[in-house]
Amino acid sequence: MRNHLKALQRCAAVGAVALAAVSLQPGTAQAQDPGPHPAPSVVGGTPAAQGEFPWMVRLSMGCGGALYTPQIVLTAAHCVDGSGPNTSITATTGVVDLDSSQAVKVNSTQVLQAPGYNGKGKDWALIKLAKPIDQPTLKIADTTAYNDGTFTIAGWGAAAEGGGQQRYLLKATVPFVDDQTCQGAYGDSLTPGEEICAGFLDTGGVDTCQGDSGGPMFRKDDSGAWIQVGIVSWGQGCARPGYPGVYTEVSTFAADIRAAAASLGG
């Protein structure tokens, strides 16, 4: 377990920011991290345009996600509580403004959490919706070919560490950080091969934050199409120098995700 530092997963309780240790489940109250906090600022984000990332999903437990199929959302394992029937999650899609009258809201029917998930690595899950969403989907990487370069991140999470959730979708770009460098920050807490890191190591200032958990990290593939390479998972605070964001390495689990989606029938 990540016990050498207070690693913060990036989910948020409804109506509040949940800064939490690795064992946090959505809605669980935890003491805030006592470490130094950066000055309040947008964590490198700018507003996304309507329709720019049409597969983005906001989940009612305080997480993000992406449409893997029209009826299945790919998110983080730590955003859900196990597998099985679940009608308690509402997915909001189709808008950058969560208060828009054009928002499409669909409830969940079933959740599948990554088999063997125990809080370290394997941080992916699927949520089946009650009906398909008429929006484009985001394909996932099934090789490591795109696990470098510059990535795009997006979400409705906090715009500064300890801040409130956002009404409008924000986006930013972050550079790849190699495993060796990332382990220099996180030591044994990092699971190479299952996690990928990104961020501005020297300066910080750009990062995902609480409420962005489960959302995609993505880039363009060789044909110019968006492809998902990561799932927002955890980090030390938000946008702190020396501590890049940590994301589930999607290519490692691509076959498992496909099989799981097929089992859900979506």
pLDDT along the chain (266 residues), means of 10: 48 44 28 31 78 97 97 97 97 97 98 95 97 97 97 93 91 96 96 96 94 96 97 94 96 98 92
Dihedral sign, CA of 114, 119, 124, 129?
positive
Distance CA 16, CA 8 (A): 15
Residues 6 or more apart in contact with residue 218 via CB below 8 angstroms: 138, 151, 152, 226, 227, 228, 229, 230
d(CA 28, CA 127): 20
For 46-80, b/e burial (b = at least 16 CB within 10 A) is: eebeeeebbbbbbbebbbbbbbbbebbbbbbbbbb
Burial (Cβ within 10 Å: 0-12, 13-18, ≥19) of residue 173: middle
- The type of residue at 226 is W
Q: Which residues are catalytic?
A: 78, 123, 213
Q: Which amino acid is at 187?
A: G
Give the three-state DSSP class for 25: coil
Q: Write out the two tokens for 227.
A: 């492809």
- Please give the distance of CA 105 from its chain centroid, rounded to a whole number: 19
Tell me how long the chain is: 266
Which residues are registered as beta bridge partners of 97?
A: 168
For residue 178, CA distances in Å to 8, 67, 74, 127, 197 come to 20, 27, 24, 30, 7
Identify the structural domains of the chain with CATH numbers, from first to last: 41-47+140-251 (2.40.10.10), 56-137+253-264 (2.40.10.10)
The CB-side HSE value for 83 (13 A sphere, CA atoms) comes to: 13
Are 78 and 201 in contact by the 8 Å Cβ rule? The answer is: no
pLDDT of residue 7: 52
Sign of CA dihedral 183, 162, 121, 59: negative
Q: Which 8-state DSSP code applies to residue 222? A: T
The helix (H) or strand (E) run that includes residue 254 is: helix 250-264
**Tokens 């899609």 -> residue:** 93
Answer for the pair 262, 209: CB distance below 8 angstroms, yes or no. no
Residue of 122, 83, 129 lying closest to 105 (CA atoms): 129
